[in-house]
Amino acid sequence: MRYTIQAGDTLSKLAIKFYGNMSRWPEIAAANALANPDRIQPGQTLTIPGLDALPPPTGPTRNEHGELVIRIPRGSTDTVAPPDPDWMGALRKPWMLAALGLGAFLLLHKKPRRRK
């Protein structure tokens, strides 16, 4: 596959983008016989080797910003509940009310400090 370098691209970012693994940048450098991998220019065209034989990445990978990305296969029956947008709903739980009540009690019944 041929890829045209865009502004801000690095070989590490391209390895993440195409392989899902930052440490595979030397493969791209070797396939293009780059003397200095740090000197790629926007508009330059590179060959990205082995994309036809690669299976889609599975498991956690990192995106171009270094954030962890977990790919979930389509048709998976496992679901994750979204966070409760009603954050006040947590205050209605008995343990939260008990914790707030204890905190208020401790604040109100604090012994005054003696002045020296």
CATH of the domain at 25: 3.10.350.10
Taken in order 47, 52, 53, 57, the sign of the CA dihedral is positive
Q: Which domain holds residue 7?
A: 2-70
List per-residue pLDDT tens for the chain, 116 residues long: 888 998 888 898 888 888 888 888 898 999 999 888 888 889 999 988 877 655 555 667 777 777 777 766 666 565 565 665 665 666 667 777 788 788 888 888 877 777 76
Residue 9 belongs to a domain: yes
Total domains in the chain come to 1
Task: Tell me if 48 is assigned to some domain.
Answer: yes
Q: How far is residue 45's CA from residue 31's CA, in Å, rounded to a whole number?
A: 12
What is the pLDDT at residue 55? 58
Confidence at residue 99, expressed as pLDDT on a 0 to 100 scale = 81
Residue 66: inside a domain: yes
**C-alpha pair distances (Å), 77 with each of 56, 71, 84:** 19, 14, 21
CA distance 3 to 52: 14
User: What pLDDT sits at residue 115?
Assistant: 73
Token pair for 11: 């070989």
